[in-house]
Structure formats: C-alpha cells, structure tokens
C-alpha cells in the first residue's frame, strides 16, 4: 500500500490506474497545474538544478528520496498515509462508530468548504514567495525555499485529489477555482487574509514559516482526526512534509538571533543603530516582525465562539489536534470553556462558552503554546549572551480582525487602550516603513556555496548530511 507508483503520469498510492474516470479528470487538471506553476511559482528558476527531496513512500521512516531535480519536473503526486485497520470515529456525536470511506451527503458542503479553504492556502504561499529566490541569503536557504514551494504544490494536489475523487462535479469546479484565485489579487484574492500578505523579504518568509505555516500544521492535525478517512489519511501524510517547513521557520529565526548576538558582541553594543551599522537585524526590529505575523496568523483560527466550529466537531468533521492522546472527553456534550471577551466598558471579562462552540479557541490555544517553544529557545540564546532582552508573543487580543477582539484597540499585552493611544504607539509595535526599507536593503543575494548573508548565521548542518558548502542549487 505504501509504495508509490512512479511509472504513472501522476505518481500515486491510491491505485489511480484502476479508476479511469478519476485518472482522466486529474490528467486534465495536471497541465493547468503546471501552467499555474510556471506562471505563479518560482518561474525564474525553472531551469536550475535543485537538491530536493521527493516522497517515495508513506512510511515515517525512509519516505523520501533526495536528488537533483529541475522544479518543473518535480513528481507531484497523490500520497495517502496507510489506513489504520478498524479505525473508529474519535470525537463528536458518532464517537466510536466506524469511520467513513465516503462523505455523508448531509455533511458534504461543510467538508467541501473546509477542504477548499485548506487547499487554497497551499498555492497561495507559493504565490506569496514567488520572487524571494532573487534575494536568497545562501544556496542552502534557496534550496529550502524551493523545497517548501514544491511541497506546497503537492499539498494542493492532495486537496484536489479529495475534491475530484469524492465531490463529483462540484469538486472539479472547486479544483479549477484553486488555480484561478491568486494571492493579493484585487478581483480574485485567496480566501484567508494572511495568505494575501506579500512576502517580499526573508525575515517575513521565516516569520511566515514559523507562524503561518504552523497554523497549517494545526489545521492539518485537526483534519487528520476527521471521520472521513481518506481526508484524515491525506492530511496525516501532509504533516510529514510539513515538519520541514516548521524547521525552516524556527531555525531561520534562530539563526538571525544568533547572528545579531555575534554582532552585539563584536561591537560591544546592543543599540539598534550599532547592530544596523553591521548589517544585522536588531532584536526590537525582529520583535515587530513577530508581532505582525503572529497577530495576523491568529485570525486564521476564526472566532472564539463559533456555532460552525460546534457543528463540525459534533458531526465528526474536524477534531482537535492529537484528539486521541491529548483529551479524555471526546464528546464534549456538557463541558464548558472559559474565554476572555471585551466587557464593553474598556475592560476584559470572563465568559463561559459550551466547549463545542469554543473549539476554534481550543485550537488557537494549542497553537500559541507551540509558538512559544521557539521563543523560549531564542530567549535562552539571548540570556546566555548576557543581554537583558526578551522576545515575547503579543497577547492574542492584540490587532485582531476576527472574533470577540476584532477592531478593539489594545496594547501588546492585550489591555484595551484608546484609539488615539493605539495609533500613536503602533510604530513601536509593528514594522514601520523605515523598518521595512532597512530589511529590504539587507536582501542582497548570496549564492557562493557555503557563504551566508551578513544578517544570518549559518545553519548547524547541511541538508541530508551534506556539507554546508554543497551546491544545493546549481544556478548556471
Ligand atoms: Fe502545506
Ligand atoms: Fe507548509
């Protein structure tokens, strides 16, 4: 089951060759995908050789093959994790019953909306990053960018397969639309806000991988619990690839911190100007970028209290991350969850919601805890270097556009403040135009094997046990 057939036009482990109708439909979609990749992907690098991993199986061990590939020739395909024998529904009203191999008619539109929303984010990120290759800080980083790009392309395939295989004509139309919407497009933007934010520099890219891709990880984890088994299996395998994207974000930001600390040591100063004179990223600047991407990504989880979230949980459509191992009560029929909402008088008050309605908030809380891990690590580096500076995640009430705190001005700690105070202090909270200009000025491409740009430290090791000065991308 776990072997992937690479002799097929579309590599897969779903026995596509024996479903001619589906095979034809997907072979019809494939050239459109390739057109989209050529137009919206890292198209200026279509002819270069890149050291990439490609999925060749779905076992946790040894699932990937590494080798040199030109990106348009990457073998995008359909790979589902192996089925779990006698898998039962893990949460909601049908807890304990057998999982579904088809979408129940009554849940069809809810499933479709979730799959399309997830699917939309995958090509969106490729579009957002489409010009970054020109300003890479090293060949190692350039390769990682391209690895993420081809895998997000494959994640699009993963969702398109589900749409084509289980949603008939509606599914085929949605698959077309996934290639028609574009990040930041005025007329046909991507569905979710953060996926329309431009990513024009590598500091933003690493923040995106750390915060926004991590939202993807949590959405996939909760879909991997779904009672609709093909969707659960698809998402389980996507998570295997996703781990590298988290790694790129976390080590990217960690290397920036390390480089900044080196500069602070060399110059004997921790003033932002001194750090900038050496062409590195001062820590307050990094903090403002973290504030931006974290707060933007929090909105992706939706409203704190949501009847939609309650329905998808009750119906067994979308569970919680690690539903089986992290929770005792999988039905949540009578439990409650405490949330903090504005009290309408400029303060904060506690409110109690039925647990099922608070599932977005449960997910967001788990996400925030996961985001904190990297910050703890970076703060340890800063402390060990003898500096009295701590990177912090802003409050989840800060700069929200969705939910109870939407458009309520607060400071970074989440205390409600007047609109006037909020606007006055904002330049200290989010990257200013001059911050962005400075970061832009750092984005000079470095492509000599083993060399790094001055604003980022080298990684601890190369890819797949290769040395750091390996030519991960052959540009000529
Ligand atoms: Fe993805
Ligand atoms: Fe990703």
**Structure confidence by residue, pLDDT tens digits, 353-411:** 999 999 999 999 999 999 999 999 999 999 999 999 999 999 999 999 999 999 999 99
Place of tokens 């960690």: 254
**Does the pLDDT of residue 7 top 80, yes or no?**
no
Q: Report phi then psi at 100, rounded to 5.
A: -100, 140
The pair of three-digit structure tokens given for residue 323, joined into one six-digit string = 């539903």
Plot region of 32 (φ>0 → left; ψ -120 to 50 → alpha; else → beta): alpha
Q: Which pLDDT belongs to residue 1?
A: 45
Across residues 217-227, what is the average pLDDT? 97
When pLDDT is averaged across residues 182-204 and rounded to a whole number, the result is 95
3-state DSSP of 327-393? CCCCCCCCCEEEEEEECCCCCEEEEEEEHHHHHHHHHHHHHHHHHHHHHHHHHHHHHHCCCCCCCCC
Give the pLDDT of residue 198: 87
Select from 383, 372, 371, 141 the least CA-distant residue to 261: 383
> Sign of the C-alpha dihedral, residues 373, 379, 385, 386?
negative
Q: Is the pLDDT at 2 greater than 60, yes or no? A: no
Mean per-residue pLDDT of the chain? 95
Higher pLDDT residue, 346 or 2?
346
pLDDT more than 90, % of the chain: 93
Band of pLDDT at residue 315, cut at 50, 70 and 90: very high
Mean pLDDT of 312-316: 98
Across the range 142-169, mean pLDDT stands at: 97
Q: What is the pLDDT of residues 68-109, one digit of tens each?
A: 999 999 999 999 999 999 999 999 999 999 999 999 999 999
Ligand nearest to the CA of 155: 1
| Cα of 114 from ligand 1 centre, angstroms | 14
Give the Å distance between the CA of 458 and the centre of ligand 1: 25
Q: What separation in Å is there between the alpha carbon of 210 and the centre of ligand 2?
A: 10
What DSSP character marks residue 208? I
Q: What are phi and psi of 353, to 5 degrees?
A: -120, 150
Taking the C-alpha atoms of residue 454 and residue 437, their distance in angstroms, rounded to an integer, is: 17
**What average pLDDT does range 191-198 have in this prediction?**
91
The ligand whose atoms approach the alpha carbon of 153 most closely is 1
Give 447 Cα–ligand 2 centroid separation in angstroms: 24
Q: Name the residues around ion ligand 1, CB cutoff 5 A.
A: 122, 152, 155
Query: Nearest CA to 154 among 182, 125, 130?
Result: 125
Using DSSP's 3-state secondary structure scheme, residue 65 falls into strand
* Bridge partner residues of 352 (DSSP): 338
Furthest-apart CA pair in the chain: how many Å? 68
- Give the Å distance between the CA of 153 and the centre of ligand 1: 8
DSSP letter (8 states) at residue 192: S
**From ligand 2's centre to the CA of 167, what distance in Å?**
24
Q: Please answer whether residues 44 and 149 qualify as being in contact, where contact means their C-beta atoms are separated by less than 8 angstroms.
A: no
| d(CA 306, ligand 1 centre) in Å | 25
Q: Give dist(CA 346, CA 418) in Å, integer.
A: 8
Q: Which ligand is nearest to the CA of 219?
A: 1
pLDDT in tens, 352-362: 999 999 999 99
**Higher-scoring residue by pLDDT: 79, 56:** 79
Distance 121 CA to ligand 2 centre (A): 9
CA 402 to chain centre: 19
Q: Does position 440 have pLDDT exceeding 80, yes or no?
A: yes
Judged by its nearest atom, the ligand closest to the C-alpha of residue 123 is: 1
The Å distance, Cα 265 to ligand 1 centre, comes to 38
Distance from the alpha carbon of residue 251 to the mean position of ligand 1, in angstroms: 18
Q: Record the tokens describing residue 396, joined without a space.
A: 């989840």
State the distance from the centre of ligand 1 to the C-alpha of 232, rounded, in angstroms: 15
From the CA of 220, which ligand is nearest? Answer: 1
* Token duo for residue 295: 């707060």
Q: Rounded to the nearest whole angstrom, what is the distance from the C-alpha of residue 222 to the centroid of ligand 1?
A: 14
Q: Answer yes or no: is pLDDT of 446 > 80.
A: yes
Q: How far apart, in whole angstroms, are the C-alpha atoms of residue 224 and residue 227?
A: 9
State the ligand closest to the CA atom of 147.
2
Nearest bound ligand to the CA of residue 235 = 1
pLDDT band at 64 (very low <50, low <70, confident <90, very high): confident
Give, as one character, the DSSP assignment of residue 449: T
The partner residues of 9 in beta bridges, in order of sequence, read none
pLDDT of residue 59: 75
* ∠ Cα 158 159 164 (to 5°): 105
Would the pLDDT of 168 be above 80? yes
Nearest ligand by distance to the CA of 121: 1
Residue 195: pLDDT over 80: yes
- The alpha carbon of 339 and the centre of ligand 1 are apart by a number of angstroms equal to 30
Q: Read off the DSSP letter of residue 50.
A: E
* Ligand 2 center–CA 226 separation, angstroms: 20
């Amino acid at each position: 089951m776990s072997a992937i057939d690479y002799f097929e036009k579309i590599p897969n482990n779903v026995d596509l060759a024996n479903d001619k109708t589906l095979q034809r439909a997907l072979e019809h979609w494939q050239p459109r995908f390739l057109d989209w990749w050529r137009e919206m992907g890292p198209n200026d690098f279509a002819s270069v050789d890149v050291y990439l991993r490609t999925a060749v199986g779905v076992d946790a061990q040894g699932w990937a093959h590494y080798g040199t590939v030109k990106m348009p020739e990457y073998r995008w395909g359909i790979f589902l994790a192996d089925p779990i024998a006698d898998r039962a529904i893990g949460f909601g009203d049908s807890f304990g019953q057998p999982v579904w191999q088809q979408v129940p008619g009554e849940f069809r539109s809810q499933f479709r909306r979730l799959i399309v929303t997830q699917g939309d984010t995958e090509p969106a990120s490729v579009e957002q990053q489409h010009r970054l290759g020109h300003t890479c800080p090293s060949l190692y980083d350039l390769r990682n960018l391209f690895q993420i790009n081809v895998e997000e392309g494959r994640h699009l395939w993963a969702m398109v397969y589900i749409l084509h295989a289980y949603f008939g004509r509606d599914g085929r139309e949605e698959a077309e639309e996934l290639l028609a919407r574009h990040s930041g497009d005025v007329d046909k933007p991507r569905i979710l806000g953060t996926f329309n934010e431009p990513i024009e520099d590598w500091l933003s890219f690493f923040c995106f991988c750390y915060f926004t891709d991590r939202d993807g990880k949590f959405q996939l984890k909760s879909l991997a619990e779904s009672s609709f088994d093909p969707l659960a299996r698809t998402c389980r395998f996507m998570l295997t690839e996703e781990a590298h994207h988290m790694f790129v974000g976390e080590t990217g930001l960690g290397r920036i911190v390390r480089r900044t600390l080196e500069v602070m040591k060399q110059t004997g100063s921790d003033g932002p100007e001194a750090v900038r004179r050496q062409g590195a990223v001062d820590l307050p600047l990094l903090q403002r970028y973290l504030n931006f991407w974290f707060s933007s990504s929090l909105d992706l989880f939706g409203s704190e209290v949501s009847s939609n979230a309650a329905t998808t949980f009750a119906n067994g459509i979308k569970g919680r991350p690690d539903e089986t191992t992290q929770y005792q009560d999988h039905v949540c029929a009578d439990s409650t969850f405490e949330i903090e909402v504005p009290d309408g008088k400029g303060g904060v008050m506690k409110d109690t919601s039925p647990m099922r309605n608070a599932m977005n908030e449960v997910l967001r809380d788990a996400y925030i805890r996961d985001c904190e891990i990297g910050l703890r690590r970076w703060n340890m580096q800063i402390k060990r270097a003898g500096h009295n500076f701590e990177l912090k995640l802003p409050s989840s009430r800060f700069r929200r556009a969705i939910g109870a705190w939407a458009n309520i001005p607060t400071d970074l700690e989440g205390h409600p403040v007047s609109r006037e105070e909020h606007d006055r202090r904002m330049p200290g909270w989010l990257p200013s135009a001059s911050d962005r200009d400075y970061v832009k000025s750092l984005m000079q491409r470095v492509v000599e094997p083993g060399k790094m740009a001055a604003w980022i430290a080298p990684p601890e090791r190369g890819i797949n046990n290769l040395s750091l000065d390996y030519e991960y991308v052959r540009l000529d």
